[in-house]
Structure formats: structure tokens, C-alpha cells
């Protein structure tokens, strides 16, 4: 049991995880410019010294959140089994995975909000999100190429097709301004898969 002095590593790591959760809430509520390290210190109990040691600056902390979101999203999307024998079932699973990993969570929501609201002051964030979206789509793009070659999808740019599917999932800016319960309407993933495939037949 810890009895004072320097905190055990496990306790420090736990506090850092708590700090990251608090930072997500703060950036979502106040934006990037409106969130200060002092605010995060007050709410998390983590010292500025620890923050500087771990992340360097506020931007470093924010980039850690960006990378965490991108890693989780990519891992979830790349885990989806892409079966050319069952395009509708495959895309239904993909829509569900994308919704959970990239759209519905607090971290993904915050990044979308900040990227749009502060695109002029943080152009590198929007660029990073776009570049990583392209990287995350790689298995889906390859899958669409297979479907196109087999005549199961109309010929075209498979990357553009991936972005079109993404647009059906997010409904554009709706995902940032509406009650997110619309994402979980019964049968939504199936309907999106069917609509996408019908439009690409």
C-alpha cells in the first residue's frame, strides 16, 4: 500500500488515463483554444510537471488523443471480415464497426467537433484525420476493388466509394449536431448497406 512520497507507476498511469478522459470532455466543451492546462490540472489532479513530462505541451496531449482515436478506429475497421460472397452482410458489419469506433464515442465526437470548429487554427488536425481515414479505408478499398472486378459493384474509384459509405453512416454534419440515438435505430446498418450497394449496382 502506498504511504506517501512518489506515487507508484500504476497509480500514475491510472491518473494519466483519467486526465485523458477529462481532456476529451474539456476539449469538447471549450474547444482546443479554450482549454488550458490549468483547467486540466484542476479537474484531474495531475500536475503540470507530469503533463509536460508525458506530453510536452497541450498540443502534444491533444495529439495523443488524436492518435488514440485513430488507432482504435483503424483496429476496429481492419478487424471486420470482408467476404466477397456476402457484400450486404459485410457492409452491415462494417457500418456497425465504424459507428462504434469512429462516430458514437466521446473521443471521436470531440475530434470531429474540434476539427470543424478550429480548422483554421488547427489545419494539421483536419489533415491528420483525412490522411488516417484514407489509411483506415485501405482494406475496404481493396474489398471494393474485388467487388468491382467481379461485377458486383459498378466500376469507379474505390476510395470515393469508401467516402460515400462513410457519408451514409454519418449523415454529414448531422452526427455532430443531432441526438446520436439516430445512429442506433433498429436495422440502420442493414439499410445503409443495402442503399449503398443499390446505388453502386
Residue 125, φ and ψ in degrees, nearest 5: -70, -50
Q: Cα(158)–Cα(152) distance, rounded to whole angstroms?
A: 13
The pLDDT tens digits for 8-55 are 677 778 888 899 999 988 988 888 888 999 989 998 888 888 899 999
Specify the fold of 65-199.
Tetracycline Repressor; domain 2 (1.10.357)
- What cell was used for 51? 503533463
Q: What percent of the chain has pLDDT over 70?
A: 96
The pLDDT tens digits for 112-121 are 778 777 778 7
Structural domain boundaries in the chain: 7-56, 65-199
The answer on pLDDT for 173 being more than 80 is no
- Check residue 6 and give its pLDDT: 60
Cβ neighbours of 8 (radius 10 Å): 11
Q: Cα(66)–Cα(26) distance, rounded to whole angstroms?
A: 14
Please, which residues have CB within 8 angstroms of residue 70's CB and are 6 or more apart in sequence? 128, 129, 132, 136
The answer on pLDDT for 145 being more than 60 is yes
CA nearest neighbour of 9 among 44, 52, 50: 50
Comparing 7-56 with 65-199, is the CATH topology the same?
Answer: no
Q: Cα(200)–Cα(20) distance, rounded to whole angstroms?
A: 41
Say which CATH class 7-56 falls into: mainly alpha
Q: What is the mean pLDDT of residues 170-198?
A: 88
The answer on pLDDT for 4 being more than 60 is no
Average pLDDT over the chain, rounded to an integer = 87
pTM above 0.85, yes or no: no
Amino acid at each position: 500500500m502506498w504511504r506517501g512520497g512518489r506515487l507508484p507507476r500504476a497509480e500514475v498511469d491510472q491518473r494519466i488515463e483519467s486526465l485523458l478522459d477529462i481532456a476529451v470532455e474539456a476539449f469538447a466543451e471549450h474547444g482546443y483554444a479554450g482549454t488550458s492546462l490549468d483547467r486540466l490540472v484542476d479537474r484531474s489532479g495531475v500536475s503540470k510537471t507530469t503533463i509536460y513530462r508525458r506530453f510536452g505541451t497541450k498540443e502534444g496531449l491533444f495529439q495523443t488523443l488524436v492518435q488514440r482515436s485513430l488507432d482504435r478506429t483503424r483496429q476496429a475497421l481492419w478487424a471486420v471480415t470482408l467476404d466477397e460472397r456476402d457484400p450486404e452482410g459485410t457492409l452491415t458489419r462494417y457500418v456497425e464497426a465504424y459507428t462504434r469506433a469512429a462516430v458514437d464515442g466521446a473521443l471521436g465526437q470531440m475530434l470531429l467537433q474540434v476539427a470543424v470548429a478550429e480548422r483554421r487554427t488547427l489545419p494539421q488536425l483536419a489533415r491528420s484525420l483525412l490522411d488516417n481515414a484514407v489509411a483506415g479505408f485501405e482494406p475496404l478499398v481493396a474489398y471494393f476493388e474485388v467487388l468491382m472486378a467481379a461485377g458486383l459493384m459498378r466500376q469507379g474509384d474505390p476510395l470515393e466509394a469508401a467516402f460515400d459509405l462513410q457519408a451514409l453512416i454519418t449523415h454529414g454534419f448531422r452526427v455532430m449536431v443531432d441526438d446520436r440515438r439516430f445512429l442506433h435505430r433498429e436495422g440502420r446498418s442493414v439499410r445503409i448497406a443495402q442503399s449503398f450497394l443499390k446505388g453502386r449496382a
